[in-house]
Chain A
């Protein structure tokens, strides 16, 4: 079983990761984050960001169109529900596969260019997907309303096994309904697999070559490497991660809409990755959990809630603080997100992982003094 063999350090990382993920419903309770909907989001966006990091973190190619694969994964999963079965396994399988096929196509074309041109090409492709999903592809995507599973959909395989849908259709894993904690644990298993694969890639010669391409692509060519297929595989793998994340969205809630493909969604995964730390193993996961966590908290605040929070202050100060904070919460969550984006890029381009490293270096130096 060479496939599962890891260095001692990586095995530790992996074990801690598995423990943290599986026990999340317990240790996240004090943070008020231990309910299934949010946990599912952590896992899904974590998977998305981990995959994105394989492209952006390892090769340095900044894609601004990965949300397209997220959307494609979602649509495919919903179609798998509609046509075949409410079982989530085929949905996730085909969601990942179809996103991968699109990634081959888009990647093949986009990777003919580098730098900002690559970013714009991926952006252009994602916008095309988004616009088409909204307009002519309505028969496939159901346009603005979004695609959902209906009771009278064929579901051929379910029909064969005599599974009858009662009520609104819910994804299931061989009879276990994909809602609440079971759905989270399904996503969690996918996340763990995704993280493990990412770890393997980081520690493989292939991963080292990708890092070398990021460092000096021209030198790689003169060193005898055909860099294009290396990059294409990285692109396709990260597209498949996005497709899997998209299909998991459909698993936890069987519908798909075009807004998932919008370029602001692509921007979000970039932010998650750089917030945690581009090119680090844990960073993207950390970034996506933090962003989804604070999104959840911040967007729930309204003015009344803010006054409650700051009630201990003198009235004039309370009003002032509420007036300052208010634009950043609730509807204004995106403002916080944008500001965070800037702060991270300006002051901590290596993300939080870089911050931790600096801190521990500082602490390591102190005793020496």
Chain B
């Protein structure tokens, strides 16, 4: 029982990341009709926003290390620490959460530039061409990041206060074996909040209403004389922000490297397909579902029965779903059916 509970928890934070990426993919696909293979790169760019922010905060000056007396030793002390002492160190400690503030405008700009500069010219072109051009873009983005930040994963720790683990088991009256890192809990909550915010935005604002109408029937909305295209640009920006934030917050869980986006992209596409192309609730549900499934599959008890199942479970589910229920879990009729 404890073990199962723990696996569910373990799956949820990964599921949260899947859900956030898949949500953006679905939004872009549903509104712009574009299959965006560069969406994973947005997740990666978000993660590197956190890295950059951390690098900025820890800009340092060489100072003589007084604690070593045998020879002249130097150590690097961040300016923030020199200027603000304890407060400065605290700010550095909170680099990841604080970088969310930077990530929002940066990702918005990246998203808008991407849509206006490239994606808009591919609305009318075939899905194959959309896949190809965004695939090229994804490679370009990840290689640019690689040339700036190198090929190795960059550690970006969570603030110290949440570095430990929570004894979640005790909360639910289970054994002490159910311990769970605070940051993962935070990630889960964070993803739920972002998902909630996106849904609320679509549900309760006029803008969101038009977007939803556009997703349901683009032609009619265009006929009403509403400029859908401009709104869709904003939608792309929103999707970029969501993917970026998901990336920022994921850095303490998995130190980012340049190909983290591609790794998540392939999985997220599978998530989108399982959820049903064009269905937002489907994307979210499938994200969490597959995250949990994956974490169950990596339990030793399961692996001993079905070796290697943890490596392929997501793809296997996708294949089965696509064959049995081509529209995915919650897909609408007529979306992407030729």
Contact = CB atoms under 8 A, between A and B. Distances in A.
State yes or no: do A and B touch (Cβ within 8 Å): yes
Interface of A: 60, 62, 64, 109, 112-117, 119-121, 123-125, 127-128, 131-132, 134-137, 217-218, 263-264, 267, 270-271, 274, 327, 331-332, 334-335, 337-342, 345-346, 349
Interface residues of B, number: 39
B315 A128 contact: yes
A208 to B, nearest CB: 21
Contacts of A332: 143, 147
A354 to B, nearest CB: 14
A121 B319 contact: yes
B253 interface: no
A345 B319 contact: no
B144 A327 contact: yes
Nearest to A133: B311
Given A120-B318, A137-B308, A114 B132 contact: no
Nearest to B267: A127
Contact of B143 (A128, A271, A335): A335
Contacts of A117: 273, 277, 322, 326, 336
Contacts of B44: none
B136 A341 contact: yes
DSSP majority for the B interface?
helix
B266 A342 contact: no
Given A124-B319, A334-B143, A338-B139, 20 more contacts: A62-B131, A109-B319, A116-B35, A116-B127, A117-B277, A120-B270, A120-B322, A121-B322, A128-B315, A131-B311, A135-B311, A136-B308, A218-B338, A327-B143, A327-B144, A331-B146, A338-B138, A338-B140, A340-B136, A342-B140
Interface string B242-281: 0000000000000000000010001001100100010000
Nearest to A263: B266
Nearest to A117: B322
B135 interface: yes
Nearest to A345: B133
B271 to A, nearest CB: 11
Contacts of B125: 349
Interface of B: 35, 118, 121, 125, 127-129, 131-133, 135-140, 143-144, 146-147, 262, 266, 269-270, 273, 277, 307-308, 311-312, 315-316, 318-319, 322-323, 326, 336, 338
B143 A109 contact: no
Q: Which 9 A-B pairs have the closest CB atoms?
A: A338-B139, A341-B136, A136-B308, A335-B143, A131-B311, A342-B136, A338-B140, A124-B315, A345-B133
Nearest to B133: A345
Contacts of A60: 128
Nearest to A218: B338
Contact of B323 (A112, A116, A340): A112
A271 B132 CA distance: 8
B38 to A, nearest CB: 10
Given A123-B266, A136-B307, A335-B139, A342 B133 contact: yes
9 contacts: A62-B132, A115-B338, A116-B277, A116-B336, A128-B315, A331-B146, A337-B139, A341-B136, A342-B137
Given A123-B269, A341-B136, A331 B326 contact: no
Contacts of A124: 270, 315, 318-319
A121 B326 CA distance: 11
B312 A116 contact: no
B128 A62 contact: yes
A338 B143 contact: yes
A128 B131 CA distance: 21
Contact of B131 (A119, A125, A339): A119
Contacts of B147: 327, 331-332, 335
A237 B165 CA distance: 54
Q: Which of A60, A64, A335 has the most CB of B within 10 A?
A: A335
B141 to A, nearest CB: 8
Contacts of B143: 327, 332, 334-335, 338
A100 B118 CA distance: 38
A137 B129 CA distance: 35
B332 to A, nearest CB: 15
A335 B144 contact: yes
A109 B277 CA distance: 19
A130 to B, nearest CB: 9
Contacts of A217: 338
Contacts of B270: 120, 124
Contacts of A119: 128, 131
Contacts of A331: 146-147
A262 to B, nearest CB: 10
Q: Which of B128, B133, B144, B307 has the most CB of A within 10 A?
A: B128
A325 B338 CA distance: 44
Nearest to B319: A124
Nearest to A343: B136
Q: Which of B136, B147, B318, B326 has the most CB of A within 10 A?
A: B136
